[in-house]
Amino acid sequence: MKIIRTIQDMKQSIEHYRDLKKQIGFVPTMGFLHEGHLNLMREATKENDVVVASIFINPLQFGPNEDFERYPKDEQADTLHAEKAGVDVLFMPTVTEMYPKPMLMQMRIKGRTDVLCGRSRPGHFDGVLTVLTKLFHIISPDKVYFGLKDAQQTAVVDALIDDFNFPIELVGLPTVREANGLAKSSRNVHLTKQERNEAAWLYKGLQQGQQLIRNGEHYPDNIIHLVTKTIEQHISGKIDYVELLSYPSLEFVSSIDQQVILATAVHFDKARLIDNLILDNYGEIITRYN
Protein backbone atom coordinates (compact mmCIF):
# COMPACT_ATOMS: atom_id res chain seq x y z
CA MET A 1 0.00 0.00 0.00
CA LYS A 2 1.27 3.44 -0.95
CA ILE A 3 0.97 6.29 1.58
CA ILE A 4 0.68 9.78 0.10
CA ARG A 5 0.60 13.05 2.02
CA THR A 6 0.64 15.80 -0.61
CA ILE A 7 -1.92 16.82 -3.21
CA GLN A 8 0.71 16.96 -5.95
CA ASP A 9 1.88 13.39 -5.30
CA MET A 10 -1.73 12.21 -5.13
CA LYS A 11 -2.56 13.75 -8.49
CA GLN A 12 0.53 12.22 -10.08
CA SER A 13 -0.41 8.81 -8.77
CA ILE A 14 -3.95 9.16 -10.14
CA GLU A 15 -2.59 10.19 -13.56
CA HIS A 16 -0.51 7.01 -13.58
CA TYR A 17 -3.57 4.83 -12.89
CA ARG A 18 -5.60 6.71 -15.50
CA ASP A 19 -2.89 6.11 -18.09
CA LEU A 20 -3.26 2.40 -17.32
CA LYS A 21 -7.07 2.64 -17.77
CA LYS A 22 -7.72 1.60 -14.16
CA GLN A 23 -11.10 2.09 -12.51
CA ILE A 24 -10.70 3.93 -9.21
CA GLY A 25 -12.81 3.48 -6.10
CA PHE A 26 -12.60 6.03 -3.29
CA VAL A 27 -13.41 5.77 0.42
CA PRO A 28 -13.16 9.13 2.25
CA THR A 29 -12.82 8.89 6.04
CA MET A 30 -11.73 10.90 9.06
CA GLY A 31 -9.71 7.98 10.38
CA PHE A 32 -9.86 5.93 13.58
CA LEU A 33 -11.05 3.19 11.28
CA HIS A 34 -13.61 0.65 12.47
CA GLU A 35 -15.40 -2.26 10.82
CA GLY A 36 -17.81 0.08 9.05
CA HIS A 37 -14.97 1.83 7.23
CA LEU A 38 -13.21 -1.44 6.46
CA ASN A 39 -16.38 -2.92 5.02
CA LEU A 40 -16.53 0.01 2.57
CA MET A 41 -12.90 -0.57 1.61
CA ARG A 42 -13.38 -4.30 1.09
CA GLU A 43 -16.44 -3.70 -1.06
CA ALA A 44 -14.53 -1.12 -3.09
CA THR A 45 -11.77 -3.65 -3.79
CA LYS A 46 -14.36 -6.01 -5.29
CA GLU A 47 -15.68 -3.41 -7.72
CA ASN A 48 -12.58 -1.43 -8.77
CA ASP A 49 -9.05 -1.92 -10.05
CA VAL A 50 -7.56 0.57 -7.59
CA VAL A 51 -8.87 1.68 -4.20
CA VAL A 52 -7.89 5.02 -2.70
CA ALA A 53 -8.85 5.84 0.90
CA SER A 54 -8.34 9.19 2.55
CA ILE A 55 -7.88 10.01 6.21
CA PHE A 56 -8.45 13.67 6.93
CA ILE A 57 -10.15 15.24 9.94
CA ASN A 58 -11.78 18.17 8.24
CA PRO A 59 -11.94 21.25 10.51
CA LEU A 60 -14.54 22.96 8.32
CA GLN A 61 -17.26 20.52 9.35
CA PHE A 62 -16.86 21.01 13.10
CA GLY A 63 -18.77 23.71 14.92
CA PRO A 64 -17.18 25.92 17.63
CA ASN A 65 -18.40 23.68 20.46
CA GLU A 66 -17.83 20.35 18.73
CA ASP A 67 -15.13 17.75 19.22
CA PHE A 68 -12.52 18.55 16.55
CA GLU A 69 -9.63 18.51 19.03
CA ARG A 70 -10.97 15.40 20.78
CA TYR A 71 -11.71 13.44 17.62
CA PRO A 72 -9.90 10.09 18.08
CA LYS A 73 -6.75 9.42 16.08
CA ASP A 74 -4.54 6.36 15.55
CA GLU A 75 -2.52 6.68 12.36
CA GLN A 76 -0.47 3.53 12.92
CA ALA A 77 -3.51 1.32 13.45
CA ASP A 78 -5.38 3.00 10.59
CA THR A 79 -2.52 2.27 8.21
CA LEU A 80 -2.46 -1.40 9.15
CA HIS A 81 -6.25 -1.74 8.91
CA ALA A 82 -6.44 -0.03 5.52
CA GLU A 83 -3.71 -2.18 4.05
CA LYS A 84 -5.35 -5.34 5.35
CA ALA A 85 -8.67 -4.26 3.83
CA GLY A 86 -7.06 -4.05 0.39
CA VAL A 87 -6.51 -0.30 0.01
CA ASP A 88 -3.91 0.51 -2.66
CA VAL A 89 -3.33 4.17 -1.83
CA LEU A 90 -3.85 5.90 1.52
CA PHE A 91 -4.05 9.70 1.20
CA MET A 92 -3.32 11.44 4.53
CA PRO A 93 -2.87 15.18 4.01
CA THR A 94 -2.45 17.72 6.80
CA VAL A 95 -4.84 20.60 7.38
CA THR A 96 -2.19 22.96 5.98
CA GLU A 97 -1.89 20.84 2.85
CA MET A 98 -5.64 20.89 2.23
CA TYR A 99 -6.18 24.51 3.30
CA PRO A 100 -2.87 26.37 2.82
CA LYS A 101 -4.63 29.72 3.09
CA PRO A 102 -8.10 30.97 4.05
CA MET A 103 -10.57 30.00 1.37
CA LEU A 104 -12.13 32.82 -0.63
CA MET A 105 -14.97 30.63 -1.88
CA GLN A 106 -17.68 29.10 0.29
CA MET A 107 -19.93 26.21 -0.60
CA ARG A 108 -23.44 26.17 0.82
CA ILE A 109 -26.20 23.63 0.43
CA LYS A 110 -29.78 24.92 0.51
CA GLY A 111 -31.71 21.67 0.91
CA ARG A 112 -31.56 18.36 2.77
CA THR A 113 -29.87 20.02 5.77
CA ASP A 114 -32.64 21.67 7.80
CA VAL A 115 -33.64 18.30 9.29
CA LEU A 116 -31.94 15.51 11.24
CA CYS A 117 -28.36 16.39 12.27
CA GLY A 118 -28.21 19.40 9.97
CA ARG A 119 -30.73 21.31 12.07
CA SER A 120 -28.46 21.42 15.12
CA ARG A 121 -25.15 21.64 13.20
CA PRO A 122 -25.33 24.76 11.03
CA GLY A 123 -22.51 24.88 8.52
CA HIS A 124 -21.52 21.25 9.07
CA PHE A 125 -22.56 20.00 5.65
CA ASP A 126 -21.12 23.08 3.95
CA GLY A 127 -17.77 21.92 5.34
CA VAL A 128 -18.42 18.37 4.18
CA LEU A 129 -19.21 19.57 0.65
CA THR A 130 -16.10 21.74 0.55
CA VAL A 131 -13.68 18.98 1.47
CA LEU A 132 -15.38 16.41 -0.75
CA THR A 133 -15.27 18.75 -3.73
CA LYS A 134 -11.54 19.15 -3.20
CA LEU A 135 -11.05 15.40 -2.77
CA PHE A 136 -13.15 14.56 -5.83
CA HIS A 137 -11.01 16.89 -7.95
CA ILE A 138 -7.76 15.53 -6.52
CA ILE A 139 -8.64 11.82 -6.79
CA SER A 140 -11.14 11.79 -9.69
CA PRO A 141 -12.73 8.48 -8.64
CA ASP A 142 -15.16 6.43 -10.68
CA LYS A 143 -17.02 5.30 -7.55
CA VAL A 144 -17.20 6.74 -4.04
CA TYR A 145 -18.33 4.73 -1.01
CA PHE A 146 -20.20 5.88 2.09
CA GLY A 147 -21.84 4.05 4.97
CA LEU A 148 -25.58 4.58 5.32
CA LYS A 149 -25.19 5.17 9.06
CA ASP A 150 -24.49 8.75 8.01
CA ALA A 151 -27.50 8.72 5.72
CA GLN A 152 -27.97 12.49 5.67
CA GLN A 153 -24.37 12.88 4.56
CA THR A 154 -24.97 10.35 1.79
CA ALA A 155 -28.04 12.31 0.67
CA VAL A 156 -25.99 15.52 0.61
CA VAL A 157 -23.23 13.84 -1.41
CA ASP A 158 -25.89 12.58 -3.81
CA ALA A 159 -26.95 16.21 -4.37
CA LEU A 160 -23.33 17.36 -4.79
CA ILE A 161 -22.61 14.76 -7.47
CA ASP A 162 -25.89 15.46 -9.27
CA ASP A 163 -25.79 19.27 -9.14
CA PHE A 164 -22.16 19.61 -10.22
CA ASN A 165 -22.16 16.74 -12.74
CA PHE A 166 -19.31 14.84 -11.14
CA PRO A 167 -18.76 11.68 -13.21
CA ILE A 168 -18.84 9.59 -10.05
CA GLU A 169 -21.11 6.74 -8.97
CA LEU A 170 -22.24 7.03 -5.35
CA VAL A 171 -22.46 3.76 -3.43
CA GLY A 172 -24.14 3.69 -0.01
CA LEU A 173 -23.62 0.51 2.00
CA PRO A 174 -25.44 -0.83 5.08
CA THR A 175 -24.57 0.20 8.63
CA VAL A 176 -22.14 -2.19 10.30
CA ARG A 177 -23.22 -3.03 13.84
CA GLU A 178 -21.82 -4.45 17.03
CA ALA A 179 -23.25 -7.69 18.43
CA ASN A 180 -25.91 -5.80 20.43
CA GLY A 181 -27.02 -3.78 17.39
CA LEU A 182 -25.13 -0.57 18.20
CA ALA A 183 -23.96 1.12 15.01
CA LYS A 184 -20.18 1.14 14.68
CA SER A 185 -18.79 4.64 15.18
CA SER A 186 -15.46 6.24 16.00
CA ARG A 187 -17.25 8.09 18.80
CA ASN A 188 -18.28 4.87 20.58
CA VAL A 189 -14.94 4.97 22.42
CA HIS A 190 -16.32 7.87 24.48
CA LEU A 191 -19.19 5.78 25.89
CA THR A 192 -19.14 4.26 29.35
CA LYS A 193 -19.98 0.57 29.68
CA GLN A 194 -23.49 1.44 30.84
CA GLU A 195 -24.00 3.92 27.98
CA ARG A 196 -22.78 1.37 25.44
CA ASN A 197 -25.42 -1.08 26.66
CA GLU A 198 -28.10 1.60 26.63
CA ALA A 199 -27.11 2.78 23.15
CA ALA A 200 -28.26 -0.53 21.68
CA TRP A 201 -31.80 0.76 22.21
CA LEU A 202 -31.40 3.28 19.40
CA TYR A 203 -31.47 0.39 16.96
CA LYS A 204 -34.10 -1.55 18.89
CA GLY A 205 -36.36 1.48 18.92
CA LEU A 206 -35.95 1.96 15.18
CA GLN A 207 -36.73 -1.71 14.63
CA GLN A 208 -40.00 -1.31 16.49
CA GLY A 209 -40.89 1.56 14.19
CA GLN A 210 -39.99 -0.58 11.21
CA GLN A 211 -42.28 -3.33 12.45
CA LEU A 212 -45.17 -0.87 12.66
CA ILE A 213 -44.70 -0.04 8.98
CA ARG A 214 -44.55 -3.74 8.15
CA ASN A 215 -47.84 -4.15 10.03
CA GLY A 216 -49.45 -1.56 7.78
CA GLU A 217 -49.02 1.69 9.76
CA HIS A 218 -48.69 4.60 7.32
CA TYR A 219 -48.82 7.63 9.63
CA PRO A 220 -45.36 8.97 10.57
CA ASP A 221 -46.51 10.54 13.86
CA ASN A 222 -47.56 7.17 15.25
CA ILE A 223 -44.25 5.59 14.30
CA ILE A 224 -42.20 8.49 15.69
CA HIS A 225 -44.14 8.36 18.97
CA LEU A 226 -43.42 4.65 19.46
CA VAL A 227 -39.72 4.95 18.63
CA THR A 228 -39.29 7.97 20.91
CA LYS A 229 -41.07 6.29 23.81
CA THR A 230 -39.06 3.08 23.41
CA ILE A 231 -35.69 4.84 23.38
CA GLU A 232 -36.57 7.22 26.23
CA GLN A 233 -37.50 4.34 28.50
CA HIS A 234 -34.11 2.66 28.15
CA ILE A 235 -31.44 5.37 28.05
CA SER A 236 -29.93 7.91 30.44
CA GLY A 237 -28.96 10.17 27.52
CA LYS A 238 -31.12 12.80 25.86
CA ILE A 239 -32.85 12.35 22.52
CA ASP A 240 -31.93 15.01 19.98
CA TYR A 241 -34.51 13.88 17.44
CA VAL A 242 -36.57 11.03 16.04
CA GLU A 243 -37.68 11.80 12.48
CA LEU A 244 -39.27 10.03 9.53
CA LEU A 245 -38.64 11.62 6.13
CA SER A 246 -38.52 10.80 2.44
CA TYR A 247 -35.13 9.57 1.24
CA PRO A 248 -32.90 10.91 -0.25
CA SER A 249 -34.86 14.18 -0.58
CA LEU A 250 -35.29 14.40 3.22
CA GLU A 251 -38.69 16.04 3.09
CA PHE A 252 -41.60 15.60 5.49
CA VAL A 253 -44.21 13.05 4.46
CA SER A 254 -47.81 12.77 5.60
CA SER A 255 -48.07 9.10 4.71
CA ILE A 256 -45.55 6.37 4.02
CA ASP A 257 -45.98 5.74 0.31
CA GLN A 258 -42.33 5.95 -0.79
CA GLN A 259 -38.78 5.21 0.32
CA VAL A 260 -38.18 6.79 3.73
CA ILE A 261 -35.59 7.16 6.45
CA LEU A 262 -36.43 6.57 10.10
CA ALA A 263 -33.64 8.19 12.08
CA THR A 264 -32.61 9.18 15.58
CA ALA A 265 -29.79 10.97 17.41
CA VAL A 266 -29.03 10.76 21.13
CA HIS A 267 -26.68 12.76 23.34
CA PHE A 268 -24.78 10.81 25.98
CA ASP A 269 -22.32 12.43 28.38
CA LYS A 270 -19.34 12.55 25.98
CA ALA A 271 -20.74 11.32 22.68
CA ARG A 272 -23.58 12.06 20.31
CA LEU A 273 -24.76 8.95 18.47
CA ILE A 274 -26.87 8.62 15.34
CA ASP A 275 -28.67 5.69 13.78
CA ASN A 276 -31.25 5.09 11.08
CA LEU A 277 -33.08 2.63 8.90
CA ILE A 278 -33.81 3.34 5.24
CA LEU A 279 -37.02 1.56 4.32
CA ASP A 280 -39.30 1.04 1.38
CA ASN A 281 -43.01 1.78 1.78
CA TYR A 282 -43.58 -1.78 3.04
CA GLY A 283 -41.03 -1.42 5.82
CA GLU A 284 -38.26 -3.49 4.22
CA ILE A 285 -34.69 -2.28 4.66
CA ILE A 286 -32.84 -0.79 1.68
CA THR A 287 -29.45 -2.48 1.88
CA ARG A 288 -27.59 -0.59 -0.85
CA TYR A 289 -28.11 2.93 -2.17
CA ASN A 290 -26.85 4.05 -5.60
Q: Among candidates 199, 196, 224, which has minimal Cα distance to 209?
A: 224
CA distances in angstroms from 139 to 44, 114, 168, listed in the order given: 15, 30, 11
Q: Is 47 annotated as a binding residue?
A: no
Contact by Cβ (8 Å): 52, 23: no
Whether 172 has a binding-site annotation, put simply, is no
Reduced to 3 states (helix: H, G, I; strand: E, B; else coil), residue 32 is coil
Gyration radius (Cα) of the chain, Å:
19
283 carries a ligand binding annotation = no
Q: According to the annotation, is 136 in a ligand binding site?
A: no
User: Do the annotations mark residue 149 as ligand-binding?
Assistant: yes
68 marked among binding-site residues: no
Q: Is 37 annotated in some ligand binding site?
A: yes
Residue 283 φ/ψ region, left for φ over 0, alpha for ψ in the -120 to 50 degree band, beta for the rest? left
Per the annotation, does 270 bind a ligand?
A: no
DSSP 3-state of 164: coil
Residues contacting 52, CB < 8 A, separation 6+: 14, 24, 25, 26, 27, 87, 88, 89, 90, 91, 139, 141
Catalytic position from the list 37, 81, 124, 190: 37
Report whether 250 belongs to an annotated binding site: no
Whether residue 150 is annotated as binding a ligand: the answer is: yes
Nearest one of 8, 46, 13, 6 to 27, comparing CA atoms: 46
Residue 234 is among the residues annotated as catalytic for this protein: no
Tell me: is residue 31 an annotated ligand-binding position. yes
The response to whether 244 counts as a known ligand-binding position is: no
Best CA proximity match to 190, nearest among 273, 81, 66: 273
Q: For residue 276, what are the β-bridge partners?
A: 263
- Tell whether residue 237 is among the known ligand binding residues: no
Which residues participate in the annotated binding site for (R)-pantoate? 61, 153
Question: Which residues belong to the annotated binding site?
Answer: 30-37, 61, 147-150, 153, 176, 184-187
Specify binding-site residues for beta-alanine: 61
**Catalytic site positions:** 37
Residues flagged as binding site for ATP: 30-37, 147-150, 176, 184-187
